Amino acid sequence: VLNLSMSGSSIVEQSRLAEAVIRAGKARRILWEINYPSFSTGERPSAVADFPQWLYRPGAETPFRYLVSWDTLKESLVAVGGRRAGALDELHRWDREFDFGEDRVLANWDYMQNRWNDELRGVWRLQSTPPEQVPVLFRKYVGALVERHPDVQFDLLLLPTSRLDYVNDFQIDVDRFDKRMALRGEVARLLRSRSQVRAWDFQLIRPMTEELSRYKDLEHFDLETARSIITRIGEAAESARADDIDRGTETLRVWVGHWARNFCERAPARCQAYLREALPAP
């Protein structure tokens, strides 16, 4: 099983990694988080042109490149300092490293509000993926990979995020929320055409998205939420159907508009003019 949820990675890198692992015979099942940030900057090449093929290339160079990586060095320094992990799952425990709660989420919101000004939005629009390219990227780097490997099971994960993360979409760019919803539509389309694809939609589970106490910032949830997600997948609970995802997308549109308007009414100082103008009409 390969879990494709790499911090800061692009959809291009994720797709290449999945292809390399499958071709190496290392995975028969792919768990793949489908999240807009991975698609947000299009097809920009990785800093390492042949990533991730070198991970599976035999020879002395492969372990050397791993050993000199910054992450490996950091983990080595931690181990030398005496804070060893008993297992890989213990290397990074957010519940031990970060504080969670509504106050942390609101603090992150305030940071975002101060950060996103007209100048930054202008720069971001020049770099971000145009709306019409989001489906193209999905079909090229997810759909085509699925079609090339009909004997591999793909579990596409629509993971939860806080309600304020959705509202923040409108603070960044008027099109950003629609791009996020377009990905849900692409997941539904792929479900209808490929029998080896399943989807798990956690974005409509209200406690997971409405309870800010679960989050350390706008989008990163706590260990309890992660365990609940893993349990549902592990117990093979009923996965989402294509029609469920499409209906869920329309429900999310209604919810997000309601959340955003309520938030700005209760805390007008936390809602800049750009956000209020960008919000969908009731």
Looking at residues 230-247, what average pLDDT do you find?
89
21-30, 68-77, 88-97, 269-278 — most confident range:
269-278
Residue 9 CB burial class (10 angstroms; 0-12, 13-18, ≥19): middle
Q: Report pLDDT for 48.
A: 47
- Residue 43 pLDDT > 90: no
Looking at residues 137-141, what average pLDDT do you find?
96
Looking at residues 62-81, what average pLDDT do you find?
62
pLDDT tens digits for range 75-129: 666 666 655 555 555 556 667 788 999 999 999 999 999 999 999 999 999 889 9
pLDDT tens digits for range 169-218: 999 998 999 999 999 999 999 999 999 999 999 999 999 999 999 999 99
Return d(Cα 40, Cα 130) in angstroms, integer. 9
Q: Report pLDDT for 47.
A: 45
Please tell me the least confidently modeled range out of 12-16, 131-135, 140-144: 12-16
43-47, 70-74, 176-180 — most confident range:
176-180
Q: Report pLDDT for 236.
A: 72
